[in-house]
Amino acid sequence: MAQAADGALSLSLPAKSAIVFPVCVYVYAAFFALLPCVQFTYIHTRPNPLAVVNAQSKTLSKLVRQLKDGCRKDEEPKESTLCGLNPCLKCLQPDILYHLGLDTETTDFPKVFGDVRFVCMGGTPGRMENFAYYLMQEIGLKINAATKLRDMAEGGRRFSMFKVGPVLCASHGMGCPSISILLHELIKTMHHAKCQDPVFIRIGTCGGIGVDPGTVVISSEAVDGRLNPAHEILVQGISVQHASQLDEGLAEEIKSCHDPCTDNHEVIIGRTLCTQDFYEGQARLDGAFCEYTLEAKKTYLEELQNQQVKNIEMESLAFAALTSRANIRSAVVCVAILNRLNGDQIKTPHEVLAKWEKRPQVLVARYIRKILYFNENDSDSEPLEEEECEETPEKTRASQGGAGDTQKAPEVEAE
């Protein structure tokens, strides 16, 4: 043994060989002895990579074909899967969706919207446009770099709406009245287009109750200011209440796309308080008017916390009620931008808020990608015959993706 100049101990060459050689032999022997176990574990715990590549390839080809040609007539089902809709809809010829600037006479709904499987909604046009571009990248669809996504609701001059393959991304404004109008027209869109089992997801921001700012809260149910799980509307002067439950299974599925190893924040499921206003409705002390004390506010927020309310926002009641009336699975995924137990004003810098605002988008994009490319129960994902699939490095890379990973789906130029 010799002492190196820097003080570290080192071995002479013959001494090294005497030790290193037997160690190498041992390691190689152990490796080959264990190889069958390793292979067995791999084969039985991971899906067959070729089958996954094939399934993705098939799904992607279908998405690209639909992007180019619209939905083919021979694929069109007779009716949408939505339930409980207005029986008079069939008498409206055409049906004018005023706020979307669309009508059934000038737009071929089955052709344009028949492939929609996900409808994502959020407050602002900018958020939803960004989300549409982000999704495009995440699900592997590309448009020509010089082309912009078209705002399909531009004609209505109220909301924005972008379509990325099977995903519609629409802005809903603030509050239940605004989102209700959009939902009526989007649900009719799904109906006229004969969509099958569309999933609706709201991606938003909220005030947290006892949760760290930056936490993503997925709503288990929406409740009003009295903690009543119903959306109340006045119909011809009479109060009507519609239950505001959300799909528990969907909430769990979305939560399972959280990757605690790479995501630097928590994702939780909890009750959501939906209010009619940002200031007095949410017991803030910083509105133009305030007729209660700090003590009363504290007592109310603590009571919310005791009742498992995790966040406050302004659309979930109408969103939950209208989607469940139509038999649509839906979820509300919001990032908390402050902890209301610590204050009212939003002091977090804009750059940080912008990063937080992406968190629900990332989670929901992973969920959508998982359903599109990794869903074993989906007939679209059935493996192709081997010769039908051309395996490329891009596709192989995507085949290794999973619920929580950050790898991208294969990219295909769609025009």
Ligand X SMILES: O=P(O)(O)O[C@H]1O[C@H](CO)[C@@H](O)[C@H]1O
Ligand Y SMILES: O=c1cc[nH]c(=O)[nH]1
Q: How far is CA 181 from CA 100, 196, 322, in A?
A: 10, 22, 10
Residue environment code for 101-128, b if the CB has 16+ CB neighbours within 10 A, otherwise e: bbbbeebebbbbbbbbbbbbbbbbbebb
Binding of residue 313 to ligand X (CB under 6 A): yes
Q: What is d(CA 208, CA 271) in angstroms, rounded to the nearest whole number?
A: 11
Q: Which is nearer to ligand X, 274 or 368 (CB)?
A: 274
Contact 77, 83 (CB under 8 A): no
Q: Which of 278, 353, 397, 404 binds ligand Y (CB under 6 A)?
A: 278
Picked from ligand X, ligand Y, none, the partner binding residue 207 (CB below 5 to 8 A depending on kind) is ligand Y
Min dist. Cβ of residue 220 to ligand Y (A): 18
206 binds ligand Y (CB under 6 A): yes
Interface with ligand Y includes 165 (CB under 6 A)?
A: no
Site for ligand Y contains 362 (CB under 6 A): no
Burial track 270-296 (b if 16+ CB lie within 10 A, e otherwise): bbbbbbeebebbbbbeeeeeeeeeeee
Q: Does 122 bind ligand X (CB under 6 A)?
A: yes
CA distance 182 to 187: 8
Residues of this chain, 290-329, that bind ligand Y according to CB under 6 A = 312-314
- What is the distance of C-alpha 332 from the center of its chain? 9
Give the CB-nearest residue to ligand Y: 207
- The answer to whether the beta carbons of residues 373 and 403 sit under 8 Å apart is no
- 271 to 290: interface string for ligand X, x by CB under 6 A: -------x------------
Please identify, using beta-carbon distances, which residue of 191 and 340 lies nearer to ligand X.
Answer: 340
Name which of 119, 123, 100 is nearest 173 in CA terms: 123
Residue 282 binds to ligand Y (criterion: CB under 6 A): yes
User: Which of 198/207 has CB closer to ligand Y?
Assistant: 207
Residues of this chain that bind ligand X (CB under 6 A): 122-123, 174, 204-205, 278, 313-315
Residues of this chain that bind ligand Y (CB under 6 A): 205-207, 278, 282, 312-314, 337
